[in-house]
């Protein structure tokens, strides 16, 4: 299982969580046919993919505005448990946990602020509030 937490832009606390059990590829972007849909002007329609290769995972940037790890833009990068990626230089941050990894950091319980719309459980989305 892999868990992705969308982090609050200021407090770095999870505001939305997605869990995937057996998907070989997880797609993130603005388009409605992604696995995770993020409505942000800096997120590409198809921004990033997370690929499963046997027991390992890899992050692949496919967005025009780039994907960043520790302020460094990446094309492809092996996924490390607890890693945080940023979609575009100023975009949303997603922290990723690989369940069952013995080096997994302690997780913070995700919260759902009341000012965010409830996501359709069949196709999770996030719309930032202004």
Domain ranges of the chain: 2-126
Q: Which residue has the higher pLDDT, 7 or 123?
A: 7
pLDDT tens digits along 94-123? 999 998 553 444 443 343 333 334 444 455
Average pLDDT score over residue span 26-31: 98
Task: Give this prediction's pTM.
Answer: 0.76
Q: Which residue has the higher pLDDT, 76 or 115?
A: 76
Concatenated DSSP letters for the chain? -EEEEEEPTTT--EEEEEEESS-SEEEEESSTTSSEEE--TTS-SS-EEEEEETTEEEEEE-STT-EEETTEEESEEE--TT-EEEESTTS-EEEEEETT-TTPPPPPPP---TTSPPPBTTB-EE----
What CATH number does the domain located at 2-126 have?
A: 2.60.200.20
pLDDT band for position 51 (cuts 50, 70, 90): very high
């Amino acid at each position: 299982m892999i868990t992705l937490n969308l982090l609050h832009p200021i407090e770095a606390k999870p505001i939305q969580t997605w869990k995937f059990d057996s998907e070989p590829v997880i797609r993130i972007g603005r388009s409605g046919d992604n696995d995770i849909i993020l409505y942000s002007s800096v997120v590409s329609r198809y921004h990033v993919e997370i690929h499963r290769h046997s027991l390992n995972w890899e992050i692949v940037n496919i967005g025009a505005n780039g994907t960043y790890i520790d302020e460094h833009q990446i094309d492809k990068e092996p996924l490390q448990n607890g890693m945080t990626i940023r979609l575009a230089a100023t975009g949303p941050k997603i922290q990723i946990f690989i369940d069952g990894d013995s080096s997994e950091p302690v997780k913070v319980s995700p919260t759902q602020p009341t000012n965010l719309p409830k996501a359709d459980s069949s196709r999770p989305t996030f719309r930032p509030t202004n």
